[in-house]
Amino acid sequence: MKNYDKYTKGYFMPPVSSLKWTQKEYITEAPTWCSVDLRDGNQALIVPMNLEEKLEFFKLLVKIGFKEIEVGFPAASETEFTFLRTLIEQNLIPDDVTIQVLTQAREHIIRKTFESLKGAPRAVVHLYNSTSVAQREQVFRKTKEEIINIAVTGAELLKTCAEETEGNFQFQYSPESFTGTEIEFALDICNAVLDVWKPTADNKVIMNLPVTVSMSMPHVYASQIEYMSDNMKYRENVILSLHPHNDRGTGVADTELALLAGGQRVEGTLFGNGERTGNVDIITLALNMYSHGVDPQLNFENLPEIRTIYERLTKMTVNERHPYAGELVFTAFSGSHQDAIAKGMKWREEENRQYWSVPYLPIDPLDIGRQYEGDIIRINSQSGKGGIGYLLQQNYGLDLPQQMRENFGYKVKDISDRLNKEIMPEEIYDIFKTEYVNIKTPIEFVNYHFTKSDDFQTVVQVIKNNETLELTGTGDGRLDAISNALQTDLGISFSNLTYKEHALDVGSKSQAVSYIGITAADGTMYWGCGIHVDIMTSSVKALVSAVNKMIG
């Protein structure tokens, strides 16, 4: 690919080794979560949400369990300002939720921001200015000292306005474009802001180190975070926050490694909405922790409902393959996957194990509001007998013998391949009934009765070519006698009768289902199924159905 040589890395590694995070295996507790859906996410929508939509989204975030929610940039527009005032004046902010607002390090914007916060029970005021080499040289054309002065002046004004405004305020600072900033300079500007705010144990501040534009592999960001964490002033009174974007498709990995490296707080959005490729997806992060047995402190037990509300309010769509939330992420079409899942689910049911370990399913779909039926196994031309058999068993209570599953599986796959479409469970059931159940042509079973001497003797009444016939036979058992009657009087031959039966339902009105396989003289195996309230009658119907398959 041409022009590759015009690109070079735009990030900066720490001046010393920062790799202690590599010794940690996984995240052991949830960070503080801050949703930025209503600010960072909203500004990235083709059509930003209106007031009513933002209010509904805010209530959704509260319901999920977010305790910190960035509600907007109130000095940027009248809509943003009005939304914040509505939350405050209508007392819509729960006692355990803190709102957050964004402001540039400019005096009139800071003062307008504090004006919007009057009467707020608690608020984080989030100050930022850009610090990267590209921003300094191309946009602001300022020296490092001038950039630091912007941040310090803004931090001082925050203190002044907070003292002049009634309320409970916490400060947050972001060196925007942190990942494109020399690490020593990022540390200098953060420490300069901290020297203004002088955080204490009772008045901690948030230092937010964003991946404004993703520039490196995830381990680089983790090393940058560890260096900042190790060298930042007032560290015990600083909440180190992460705000990754997803330009390189590594937003989740960036965040997870940075949490190992000292991050304590994460700013992100539902489903990763945001500028360009989006913010980090908090749902994926939270459920990744959940899959390791860590309580994420957020409630995604009804993820399909959350997805529906999100899509309606944002006009965005969640991809079918989106982790955890996508329509198809728990679905197996592949035959080998279906077989493993079906066997894993059966094993789990038999063993009654505490811990989840079903092949191909990282978490139990039921835990996030998905269903086994219709979500896990779906059938197309790539599917196998295991998945088809699993659907019949789960949806209709039919537990086919292994060889019959294979026989039926090929029929369904052929139909799917021919029609070039997915086959729904009800269609599979209809195909099964048509192909195997209580088949009446060319022979229709009518009745039977037995007499008992030394052997079982039977008379089987059938209709063939519109003529009623009475077939007689003798055998070691009832089914053997009926089998011999069919073969002798109809002039047919088969062997290796394979039989299985079970109750189809439970209760006084339960039906019995029988499956019978027979082998013709040429070695081909034919299957039939009988369903009836009487187990013997269902067996006879199954045998006659198999015979009909053979001679039909």
The answer to whether the CB of 205 falls within 8 A of the CB of 233 is no
Tens digit of each residue's pLDDT (9 = 90 or more) over 352-390? 888 999 988 999 999 999 887 666 666 655 665 567 777
| pLDDT given for residue 377 in this prediction | 62
From CA 103, how far away is CA 111, in angstroms rounded?
9
| pLDDT given for residue 385 in this prediction | 58
The answer to whether the CB of 276 falls within 8 A of the CB of 238 is no
Distance of CA 260 to the CA centre of its chain: 23
The answer to whether the CB of 273 falls within 8 A of the CB of 306 is no
Bridge-based pairing of strands 512-520 and 525-532 is antiparallel
From CA 385, how far away is CA 395, in angstroms rounded?
15
| pLDDT given for residue 340 in this prediction | 84
| pLDDT given for residue 85 in this prediction | 96
Low pLDDT (below 70) residues in the chain: 333-335, 373-386, 452-454, 505-509
Q: Which CATH superfamily is domain 443-551 in?
A: Alpha-isopropylmalate synthase LeuA, regulatory domain (3.30.160.270)
| pLDDT given for residue 375 in this prediction | 65
Give me the helices (H) in 291-441, please: 303-314, 335-351, 385-396, 402-419, 425-436
| pLDDT given for residue 374 in this prediction | 64
| pLDDT given for residue 324 in this prediction | 96
DSSP type of residue 138:
I
Beta bridge partners of 189: none
DSSP type of residue 526:
E
From CA 159, how far away is CA 336, in angstroms rounded?
63
CATH number of 18-301: 3.20.20.70
Entry pTM: 0.82
198 Cβ neighbours under 8 A, 6+ residues apart = 234
| pLDDT given for residue 475 in this prediction | 85
Q: What φ, ψ does residue 13 adopt, rounded to 5°?
A: -75, 155
The domain segmentation of the chain, as residue ranges, is: 18-301, 335-436, 443-551
Query: Nearest CA to 59 among 32, 90, 82?
Result: 90
Beta bridge partners of 174: 128
| pLDDT given for residue 36 in this prediction | 98
331 Cβ neighbours under 8 A, 6+ residues apart = 375, 376, 377, 378
| pLDDT given for residue 378 in this prediction | 65
Bridge-based pairing of strands 123-130 and 169-176 is parallel
